[in-house]
Amino acid sequence: MDRPRPLVCTGFMNSENTVGQSPAAHGGTALVVVSHHRPDSLTAAVAGRAASRLEAAGYSVDLLDLHAEGFDPRNRVADEPDYGNRDKTYSDEVHAHFRRVRAADVIVPVFPVWWFGLPALLKGWFDRVWNYGLAYGRSRSPMAEKRMLWLGLAGIPAHDPNADLVRGLFDGPLRRGTSEYCGVSDVRTAVLFDSEGEDLSGGARDRHYRELFSEAEAAVDKLVAG
Ligand SMILES: Cc1cc2nc3c(=O)[nH]c(=O)nc-3n(C[C@H](O)[C@H](O)[C@H](O)COP(=O)(O)O)c2cc1C
């Protein structure tokens, strides 16, 4: 795998790049969780597209930008005062984040694939917030009625020999190991491969980005359509 080059993405909320019709109105709350340190990253642009698409479908969008909000992925002792007690009180920050999860009908984490895993920032959000007694460990899962779309960007192309590692990540630790383990009933995944558009420039690069946006929007539309 070649080392990635930084991408700068501007104007991502520009509606002229939107491909296709907006899906029919649905309503409810959508939590879009974006994990990237650069606000002009392609990841942020894709998250903005996903949020716009959900809004167009009638959702009230809670955009959680983990980096911008200063989320600290490190667990603290106060986060888990009594590990074995599912009724324990976690830290205020953990409860505040989980309230946003609980309020959501639809959850869409948007992130770059790093070392065939989640960025530490997003991993830490799941580690700290999706906790025992909150997201799992109840006979009646609080997550059962929710729907989820894991929307990831991978630098390698879909035909790369290592692409199966990316697919394995989405189908294993993310879909099954996290969402389904917590009882989320409707789980979808979408990987935007070749996110960096290797060797492209000018109009070809713009077209490539439009295709990626279109793929992301199509994945959101499918989620919304249920
Ligand atoms: C630390 C780091 C690790 C990465 N690891 C992978 C990887 O394991 N697989 C992959 O396909 N791309 C990998 N990439 C490429 C990123 O997925 C790619 O740069 C990103 O999707 C581009 O979007 P961005 O501009 O929003 O970061 C890595 C990039 C970085 C910076």
Q: Is residue 140 part of a domain?
A: yes
pLDDT in tens, 114-168: 999 999 999 999 999 999 999 999 988 999 999 999 999 999 999 999 999 999 9
Q: Is residue 5 part of a domain?
A: no
Q: Is the pLDDT of residue 183 over 80?
A: yes
Q: Is residue 36 part of a domain?
A: yes
Instruction: Give percent of the chain with pLDDT exceeding 70.
Output: 88
Query: Length of the chain, please?
Result: 226
Across the beta sheet with 29-34, what order do the strands follow?
A: 60-65, 29-34, 106-112, 147-153, 186-192
Number of domain units in the chain: 1
Q: Is residue 3 part of a domain?
A: no
Domain of residue 153, residue span: 23-225
Q: Is residue 138 part of a domain?
A: yes
Q: Is residue 17 part of a domain?
A: no
- CA angle (108 as vertex; 9, 51 as ends), nearest 5: 50
Q: Which numbered atom of ligand 1 lies nearest the CA of 152? A: 21
**Which of 115, 159, 191 to probe ligand 1 with, by most ligand atoms within 8 A of CB?**
115
In the chain, the amino acid numbered 128 is R
**Which of 34, 153, 166 to probe ligand 1 with, by most ligand atoms within 8 A of CB?**
153
Q: Is the pLDDT of residue 19 over 80?
A: no
Classify 142 as helix, strand or coil: coil
pLDDT in tens, 71-94: 999 998 887 778 778 888 999 999
The CATH number linked to 171 is 3.40.50.360
Q: Is residue 4 part of a domain?
A: no
Q: Is the pLDDT of residue 9 over 60?
A: no
CA distance 90 to 104: 20
CA distance 33 to 64: 5
Measured in Å, residue 156 CA sits from the centre of ligand 1 at: 8
Helical spans, DSSP H, in 104-143: 120-129
What is the reported pLDDT for 18? 37
Rg (CA), the chain: 17
What is the reported pLDDT for 164? 98
Q: Report the pLDDT averaged over residues 35-53.
A: 97
Q: Is the pLDDT of residue 8 over 80?
A: no
Q: Report the pLDDT averaged over residues 45-68.
A: 98
Q: Is residue 1 part of a domain?
A: no
